[in-house]
Structure 1
Amino acid sequence: MSDQTTVFDLIRHGEPEGGPMYRGSKDDPLSAAGWQQMRDAVAETDHWDAIVTSPMLRCVHFARELADRYGVPLHKDERLREINFGKWEGRTAEDVMASDGERLSQFWANPAANTPPGGEATRDFNNRVVESWHHWQHELAGQNVLIVCHGGVIRMIVADVMNIPLEHAFAGLMTPYACRSRIQVNTSEHGRFQSLAAHGTLRALTS
C-alpha cells in the first residue's frame, strides 16, 4: 500500500431562513445572513479537488456555487443529511425545553439512549454518517476535499476520528454556523490514521 494523505475540510451550513431551531429534515434554504456566513468562511488560499455535500438546500446551493467557482466535481450524498428530530423539528430549543424539557435534557446527556419523539435513533444516524465518511476516504484518497454538511454530521465524524463514545458525541462539541473542521487521514502499510487538525470558525483558525 502506498502512503497517502487525504485532507478533509468540513463546514457546517450558515443560518437558514427561519433562524435557529431544531431543523433536522426540515429543508429550509440559507438566509441572506447564512449566505454571507458561508462566503466569509472560505479563504482565498483554500483549494479543493472535490466537494461532497448533503443534498439539503442549506448545504447544496452553496456547495454548487463553490464547485462552479473552482471547477471541481460535486458529489451529493443522502447519508449526510442531518438527524431527524421528529416532533421537535421546526421548534426552538426554548420552546422544546418549556414543553418537553426532561426528554430534551436526556437526549443531550445521552443521545444514544434517548431518541427524540418520532425522530431518528442516534445510532442509525451515526451508522449512515460514518458509512459515508469511510466511503469518501476511500473514493477520494489523496485529495483535498470539502464536505458541506450539518452540525450533527460533523459531530458524528469527529466522534469517529477521536473515538468519542456516541453517548458524548452531541454535547461534547460546539458546531456554530459556518464552523470549519480539518481532518487529515494518512494511510500506509501500517494502517489508517485519522487526526483532527483544527476546529472552529475561519477567523479563529487563522488568527
Structure 2
Amino acid sequence: MTETIIDLIRHGEPVGGRRYRGHAIDDPLTDKGWSQMWHAIGDYHAWQHIITSPLERCQSFAMALGKKHNITVSVEHRFKEVGFGVWEGLSHDEIKTGRAQEYRSFLQDPVSHRPQGAEALNSFIQRVASAYDETVTHYRGQHCLIVAHAGVIRAIIANIVHAAPVGLYRIKVSNGGITRIRHTETGGILEFLNGKLAD
C-alpha cells in the first residue's frame, strides 16, 4: 500500500485573545497569528492538496498558502471547531472564576459535563472522524495539509490512537503547531505533535 501523509496545522492566535470561540465566533488572525503559521511552515510546500475549516482563522491562511505555492484548496465544513454553547466568547479566566464548579466538572469529564447548549463531544468527534476518514480515502497515496482548530486536531488524534473522548482536553495543541499522521497498511501512526516544518 502506498503511504498517505496528513499534516495538520492549528490556526495561529486570533483577534480577541484566549477565549472559547467554538464555531459561533469567527475572529480573524492577528499579525502574530499569521506569523506563527508561516514560521511553522517556512518554505515547505510538498502537499498535493490543502483542506481547511470554513472559519476565517483557518481559511484565510489556507487560501494564502495555496495561492503562494499553487496548491488547490477545498473547504470542509465538518472541520469547524466544536460548539461551546454559552461559553462562546468568554475568556478562560472568566470561566475559571465565574463558573468555577462548572469548569472543574468539565475538565474532569468533558463528555458528560458540557457547557449549556454545547455540541455533544461524541457527535463532534464523529463528524470530524467521518470527514478525516473520507479525506484519507479520497487522497490515498498523497500528502495533504489540513488547516483546523485545536479541538478538531485533538479529535483526529484521539480517533487515530483509539483514546477515550474523556481525555480529549489532555492533548495540548499549540497555535501554529503541526501534527503529522502517516497512514500505512496497518493504519494511521501519529508521528509528531506541535512540530514545525521550517528548517
Q: State yes or no: 1:153 paired with 2:147.
A: no
Question: Could you tell me which residue of structure 2 aligns to residue 17 of structure 1?
Answer: 15
Q: Deviations over 1:58-77 (max 9, x none)?
A: 00000001111121211101
Task: Specify the code of the residue in structure 2 equivalent to 1:179.
Answer: G
Q: State yes or no: 1:177 paired with 2:171.
A: no
| CA–CA separation in structure 2 for the residues paired with 1:206 and 1:166 | 32
The question of whether the paired residues in 1 share the 8 Å contact of 2:14 and 2:57 is answered with yes
Task: Specify the code of the residue in structure 2 equivalent to 1:93.
Answer: H
The question of whether the paired residues in 1 share the 8 Å contact of 2:50 and 2:71 is answered with yes
Alignment of 1:119-198 (within 5 A): 119-171=118-170, 173-187=171-185, 192-198=186-192
The question of whether the paired residues in 1 share the 8 Å contact of 2:106 and 2:114 is answered with yes
Q: Deviations over 1:142-172 (max 9, x none)?
A: 111000000000000000111111111122x
Question: Could you tell me which residue of structure 1 aligns to residue 115 of structure 2?
Answer: 116
Q: State yes or no: 1:52 paired with 2:51.
A: yes
- Report the alpha carbon displacement of residue 104 of structure 1 after superposing the two structures with TM: 1.5
The question of whether the paired residues in 1 share the 8 Å contact of 2:43 and 2:198 is answered with no
SS in 1 for 2:181: strand
SS in 1 for 2:169: coil
Q: Which runs of 5+ in 1 are unaligned?
A: none
Alignment of 1:70-85 (within 5 A): 70-85=69-84
Q: TM-score, normalised by structure 1?
A: 0.92
| CA–CA separation in structure 2 for the residues paired with 1:71 and 1:119 | 38
- Report the alpha carbon displacement of residue 206 of structure 1 after superposing the two structures with TM: 7.2
* Residues 153 and 4 (structure 1), Cα distance of their counterparts in 2 relative to 1, 3 Å cut: same
Task: Specify the code of the residue in structure 1 equivalent to 2:147.
Answer: V
Identity percentage over the alignment?
33
Structure 1 moving runs of 4+ over 3 Å: none
Q: Deviations over 1:65-102 (max 9, x none)?
A: 11111212111011000011111111111101111111
Task: Specify the code of the residue in structure 2 equivalent to 1:65.
Answer: A
- Report the alpha carbon displacement of residue 185 of structure 1 after superposing the two structures with TM: 0.6
Q: Indicate the RMSD between aligned Cα atoms, in angstroms.
A: 1.4
Q: Which runs of 5+ in 2 are unaligned?
A: none
Q: State yes or no: 1:38 paired with 2:32.
A: no
- Report the alpha carbon displacement of residue 200 of structure 1 after superposing the two structures with TM: 1.5
| CA–CA separation in structure 2 for the residues paired with 1:201 and 1:4 | 24
Which range is displaced more, 50-59 or 18-27? 18-27
- Report the alpha carbon displacement of residue 105 of structure 1 after superposing the two structures with TM: 1.7
Which of 2, 5, 8 is the aligned partner of 2:3? 5
| CA–CA separation in structure 1 for the residues paired with 2:183 and 2:190 | 9
Task: Specify the code of the residue in structure 2 equivalent to 1:198.
Answer: F
- Report the alpha carbon displacement of residue 23 of structure 1 after superposing the two structures with TM: 0.9
| CA–CA separation in structure 1 for the residues paired with 2:16 and 2:188 | 36
